[in-house]
Amino acid sequence: MTWVLILAVAVVVWGVMAFVLKLPRTGWEITAAALLFGISGYALQGHPNQPGAPQAPAESAKLADQTLIKERQQMGSAFGQGQSWLILADALTRQGQFGAAADVLHSALAKSPKDADLWVALGNALVGHTDGVITPAAQFAFQKAANIAPDHPGPPFFMGLALAQTGRLAEARTLWAELLARSPADAPYRADLEARLSRLDSMIVEQAQMQGGTEGAPAAAPPAAKPSQQ
């Protein structure tokens, strides 16, 4: 049945070319021969019954860090109303589709430009799209979120993370130390932030030792923030 359908399609194609598109008679035989040649090639090499083998999207080679997605969700949700967009963006991010996630967030921000959570998520998607390199666009997104919601912990946390990943350890430490100092004692992200800051201090010390000097050694740890009275 498949071959009957293929031959029927070939005849229809030839008829359209000959009588509708007014193919010159001198080209009829050549066109018919080309169609038959194509069918013969398919008969020799085609495998219509073989199951497909879809390829994974190119950008999914490096999947997102699930811990960071959870971290952003803990730090967000109170600074905007774009939760449905964030759910879709997070789903794409989990698959490593950072570019697609950024496109979704751009569409969301066109409708809700004052949503700080969306700006933080966009910054993360842009950093993920460049394999951890913080670009001016990502920096703008984090700064935009910070301007909209100065108390939002996401912008300094993820901005610091991106800076640390690119070797700008001292700048990252400044952001994280300030964030820790103003974070409530019961903040769900506080323990993780303290652990990351401690590791960052160790990295700064090691970097200073490798450079043969004491420059870049961390300052004293910031005082713990007092529990919120709320």
In a domain, 228, yes or no: no
Q: What is the pLDDT of residues 134-174, one digit of tens each?
A: 899 999 999 999 999 999 999 999 999 999 988 899 999 99
How far does CA 93 lie from the centroid of its chain?
5
Domain check: are 75 and 166 in the same one?
yes
Please tell me whether residues 38 and 66 are part of one structural domain: no
Q: What is the C-alpha separation between 175 and 146, in angstroms, rounded?
A: 12
Q: Tell me whether residue 135 is exposed, middle or buried, using C-beta atoms within 10 angstroms of its C-beta: 0 to 12, 13 to 18, 19 or more.
A: middle
pLDDT in the model for residue 55: 47
Q: Is the pLDDT reported for residue 176 higher than 80? A: yes
| pLDDT value of residue 94 | 82
As for how many domains the chain has, the answer is 2
User: Are residue 31 and residue 66 in the same domain, yes or no?
Assistant: no
Domain check: are 206 and 134 in the same one?
A: yes
Q: Is residue 137 part of a domain?
A: yes
Predicted confidence at residue 113, as pLDDT, reads 92
* 182 domain residue, yes or no: yes
Range of the structural domain that residue 91 is part of: 60-210
Q: Is 55 part of a structural domain of the chain?
A: no
- 126 shares its domain with 198: yes
pLDDT for residue 39 is more than 80? no
pLDDT of residue 1: 53
Kindly state whether residues 67 and 168 are assigned to the same domain: yes
pTM attached to this predicted model: 0.58
Question: Does 65 lie in the same domain as 125?
Answer: yes
81 and 12 in a common domain: no
Residues 112 and 156 in one domain: yes
| pLDDT of the residue at 226 | 43
Both 143 and 77 in one domain: the answer is yes
